[in-house]
Structure 1
């Protein structure tokens, strides 16, 4: 069972949702890149996940329960006291980050994150515009010009906000757009066009590189 809830107040618009998963049978859950960073409390304690650049299979036992707070792409800032790129493709226990989450109840996790948000600098205000422009299919050069940055400035701000450069971010947000379209029932040939891929072969190759499986398997 998996459910998401709106984040509620106190997160300054930087959190996408609060979620919970209870595994009903032993299985492997495939986590794919989405540009987000999550604070998760599970059977082994609390840890920070992401941002990912490739597939992350997670082996789960029957009855395992996970509770998470998912930051929007570019929303995490320095909440965990380390640069976002230091968390890239990592699963880091919060104790290694000097961060305490005494229990997995959503209210406790919420209070811990709200306190951190109040104590740290705000996220880069340009981050949502960067992600949205790349999601819309603009080139890295076009995005930099539109936002008034040099490409070097865009790279630096993208690394600080998302944990990787704009070219990787572009691949991730385009992949997520394609996945959303496919799950809505759009034909794969049309998904390729709408999501901004050169053709269906380009879509298939990128999905395989980012997820390790086909788009047909992911949309189930």
Structure 2
């Protein structure tokens, strides 16, 4: 992607944020809209060359709606559709699992499946960030844009909390294929408490998180050119038919469509 730069944040943000990123697109893409496939993570995106971002409810929504200040997108179980029709300069934050409530004090489960305008959550924060970028002469300097974003986050969140340690313990075990019930028992928690704590921290239930971990691994493998039967075997699906059902359920597309509509990023598809 043109003008793309990403890096991990400095402490103490690194406990809650996996990466800060920025992109500058000098013109619209050949496809005017693009699907972002679900990752299970929360994201914050702020436009620097305008005051709002446009999102669409679905492929049939030709007009879309504008979100003032930018967006905070909670963990999703379905794809979202964004505007790629024009030039843009944006900065973004991708939160670690459990990082959203720890850094911003917002319950992840209350934001799951939602895309919220930043101006509705924190009136004036996005405008102050744009002012900071302008004052630093950073609009056309990717590294400087990220410094401004990091400073704005630190100023807004003086003392980030520590994410629930259950998340860091459970997620790699889920990814390795551990059964949810077995993890709950190993954690010494009741089923209700285990699921409640994972939802509060990550916005999704453990089984949903595992499905998205597997989906992301499959998307990356497919993007690298592996045959779908091989992807299914390598990523823990019962067979290729199982992979196809999960793709349709979580992305709204078949594996063949994912490959045909693919972009430079495994989790982004052209909407044509």
Same fold (TM over 0.5): yes
Query: For residues 75 and 133 of structure 1, what CA distance do their matches in structure 2 show?
Result: 19
**CA apart distance, 1:170:** 1.6
Q: Is the 8 A contact 2:98 2:163 kept in 1?
A: yes
**CA apart distance, 1:192:** 1.1
| Residue aligning to 1:103 | 129
- Give the alignment's TM-score, normalised by structure 1: 0.89
| Residue aligning to 2:20 | 18
Q: Is the 8 A contact 2:45 2:71 kept in 1?
A: yes
Q: Is the 8 A contact 2:42 2:75 kept in 1?
A: yes
CA RMSD of aligned residues (A): 2.1
- Give the alignment's TM-score, normalised by structure 2: 0.73
Query: For residues 148 and 194 of structure 1, what CA distance do their matches in structure 2 show?
Result: 31
Q: Is 1:167 the counterpart of 2:204 in the alignment?
A: no
Q: Is the 8 A contact 1:77 1:124 kept in 2?
A: no
Deviation string, structure 1 residues 186-219 (Cα, Å, up to 9, x no partner) = 3211211221112111111111111112234435
Matches within 5 A, 1:139-218: 139-218=179-258
Q: Is 1:59 the counterpart of 2:83 in the alignment?
A: yes
Residues 4, 171 of structure 1: CA spacing in aligned structure 2 closer, same or farther, 3 A cutoff?
farther
Query: For residues 113 and 73 of structure 1, what CA distance do their matches in structure 2 show?
Result: 18
Q: Is the 8 A contact 1:74 1:124 kept in 2?
A: yes
Query: For residues 155 and 109 of structure 1, what CA distance do their matches in structure 2 show?
Result: 33
Match among 65, 71, 79 for residue 47 of structure 1? 71
Query: For residues 251 and 23 of structure 2, what CA distance do their matches in structure 1 show?
Result: 20
Higher RCO (CA-CA < 8 Å; seq separation 6+)? 2
Q: Is the 8 A contact 2:9 2:150 kept in 1?
A: no
Query: For residues 120 and 93 of structure 1, what CA distance do their matches in structure 2 show?
Result: 22
Q: Which moved more, 1:128-137 or 1:33-42?
A: 128-137
**CA apart distance, 1:46:** 2.9
Q: Is the 8 A contact 1:88 1:163 kept in 2?
A: yes
Residues 136, 117 of structure 1: CA spacing in aligned structure 2 closer, same or farther, 3 A cutoff?
farther
**CA apart distance, 1:4:** 4.1
Deviation string, structure 1 residues 45-66 (Cα, Å, up to 9, x no partner) = 2321121110101122220222
Instruction: Give unpaired runs (5+ residues) of structure 2.
Output: 53-68, 131-144, 263-272
When Rg is computed on C-alpha atoms for both structures, the one with the higher figure is 2
Q: Which moved more, 1:186-195 or 1:47-56?
A: 186-195
| Residue aligning to 2:153 | 113
Match among 164, 168, 172 for residue 128 of structure 1? 168
Q: Which moved more, 1:116-125 or 1:42-51?
A: 116-125
Q: Is the 8 A contact 1:81 1:97 kept in 2?
A: no
Q: Which moved more, 1:183-192 or 1:156-165?
A: 183-192
Deviation string, structure 1 residues 166-203 (Cα, Å, up to 9, x no partner) = 12112111111211222233321121122111211111
